[in-house]
Chains A and B, each alone.
Chain A
C-alpha cells in the first residue's frame, strides 16, 4: 500500500441542490487519508462550491463550506478552478473563499491553494493524472 498515485477529483455541480458536492468532499478526504497525491478541480457549476459567505441556517441543513478550508491540513492544496466557468457566471477569484495551506518545504509559509487555470491548462493537468473521479 505504499504506492502513491495522482488522484484528481472533478466537481461540476453546485452545492446543496444535489448531494454530489458533499459526497465528493468525503471521497477527497478518503483519498487524502490514504496519502495519495490529491488534486481537486472545480468546473462548470462546481465553481459555486467555493463561493464565500455560505449560510445555510435558513435551510436547516449542514453548511459544509468550512470543510474546504480544512483541506490544506490534509495536504490537499492543489485546487484548480477553471477561469472560463468563473467568467460565464460573473465570478472572480475575489468571490471565492481564500483557501490557504502551509508549505512544509518552504518554512511553513502560508500559500494559496486555489489556482485559477484556463480550460487548456486544466486539460493538460487532467492528462498528467493516473486516476480521475467525476462528481
Chain B
C-alpha cells in the first residue's frame, strides 16, 4: 500500500511539508505543488529536511508551478523529479490513495 502525498504550501509559511515528512510512511511519494514547490529548492533552511526524508520517500515537483514562480530546475535538490500534469495523473494512478497536506 502506498500513498501519494501532495503539499501545496510554502515550507516557510506553514509546517505542512514538515508534518507530511514526519508522518509519511516509508515508500510513499511526495508531490510538491503550488507554493509547495519552494520546498524542492536546494540551499534553503528547509533543504536538509527534504534531503533526509528522501531516504524513505520519493519527491516530485510540478513543472508548471515551478515555471510560474521563476524557479529554475537547476536550483532543485538533487533527486527531486519534475513532472507535468499527466505525470501528476500517473502518480495518482500508481498509488493506492492520496493525502493532501494543506
- List residues of chain A with CB under 8 Å of any chain B CB: 13-18, 44-45, 48, 51-59, 61, 63, 65, 88-90
For B, the interface residue count at a CB cutoff of 8 angstroms equals: 25
- List residues of chain B with CB under 8 Å of any chain A CB: 8-10, 12-13, 34-35, 38, 41-45, 47, 63-65, 67-72, 75, 84
A53 contacts across to B, CB distance below 8 A: 70, 72
Are B44 and A90 in touch, CB under 8 angstroms?
Answer: yes
A56 contacts across to B, CB distance below 8 A: 67-68
* CB contact between A59 and one of B9, B13, B64, B70 (< 8 Å): that residue: B64
Question: Can you spell out 24 A-B residue pairs with CB atoms less than 8 angstroms apart?
Answer: A14-B38, A15-B69, A16-B35, A16-B68, A16-B69, A17-B10, A17-B34, A17-B35, A18-B35, A44-B12, A48-B38, A51-B71, A55-B67, A57-B67, A58-B63, A58-B65, A59-B65, A59-B68, A65-B70, A88-B12, A88-B44, A89-B41, A90-B41, A90-B44
A16 contacts across to B, CB distance below 8 A: 34-35, 65, 68-69
